[in-house]
Every structure is written in structure tokens, then in C-alpha cells.
Amino acid sequence: MAKVDMKMPEEFLLKLSKLGSSTDAIAERVLEAGGEVVLAKVKSNLSGVVGKNTKIDSRSTGELERSIGLSPVKPDKNGNYDIKIGFAEPRSDGGSNAKIANILEYGRHGQPPKPFLAPAKKATKDECIRVMAQTFEEEVAKL
């Protein structure tokens, strides 16, 4: 499955630990804000590659683009919170959106790669961190 990881900087994690009972709610809002930045770029990149520069007419239904979204914020096995960008499954034809996304990202025999996830991660890193920091400061100011 295609996957993008964005990690919170260490200084944010230290500040979060000082917030007590509000930590979970603030972590969710911060991650969601950062996730939205990355999601918007992934969607934009995906729209730019689906059905473009193909040898035959595109058979795109738009289902892959409609299926992309953010997961709920959840703690992992180590207690670190994360949010994921992924694809709703299954497709209406029973196939896998993640498989199609993987083929687009990395290509296959006879089909060159059309990366949309890796460029989105690289392009949004600084903005994601900025938005997360801003959201964090806003949430702390509310306390």
C-alpha cells in the first residue's frame, strides 16, 4: 500500500508532554492540520497524473481520486500518535485502490512511474511543519 509518514518534531513532543489531560485532543488537532496540508497536495498531484500521457485513451473513473483521505488520529504500539493518508477500499469492481496507486507511483512493465505521493511529501514538509506549529500554538493559547 502506498504510504506517507510525517513525524512531529521532537520539540513539539516535549511541549505536548507538559499539557496533561489536553495532550490527546491537541495532538489530534495538530496532526489533522498537518495531514490536511499534505492531503491537498497529494490530491492535486494525483489529479495531475491520472489519465495523463497515456498511449491509449484513459479509462479513469475518478474512483481512485474520490477514495483518498485521512485516517483518524490513533496512537501506535509505542504510544506515538499518527495520521495516515490512504485509499478507501475496496473499489466498486472489487479491486484495490492501493494497488492502482502503487502502480501509478512506481510504474510497472510497459507503464512508466507517475509519482504523486513522494513529490507531495517533499513539497509539503516545511508547510506541514509550519501549520502544525501554528495549530499547536493556537491550541496551547486556548488553555
- Torsion 127-125-3-79 (CA) sign: negative
Instruction: Report the phi/psi class of residue 25: left, alpha or beta, with left for phi > 0 and alpha for psi in -120 to 50.
Output: alpha
β-pair partners for 81 = 75
Residue 32 to residue 41: CA distance in whole angstroms: 14
Q: What is the pTM of this model?
A: 0.78
Cis bond upstream, residue 115 (ω within 30):
no
pLDDT at 13: 73
Measured from the Cβ of residue 1, the count of other Cβ atoms closer than 10 Å reads: 12
pLDDT in tens, 56-112: 666 777 788 899 999 999 888 988 889 999 999 888 888 899 998 998 899 888 888
Decide if 53 contacts 65 (C-beta within 8 A).
no
- Torsion 121-94-82-40 (CA) sign: positive
pLDDT in tens, 25-41: 888 999 999 999 999 99
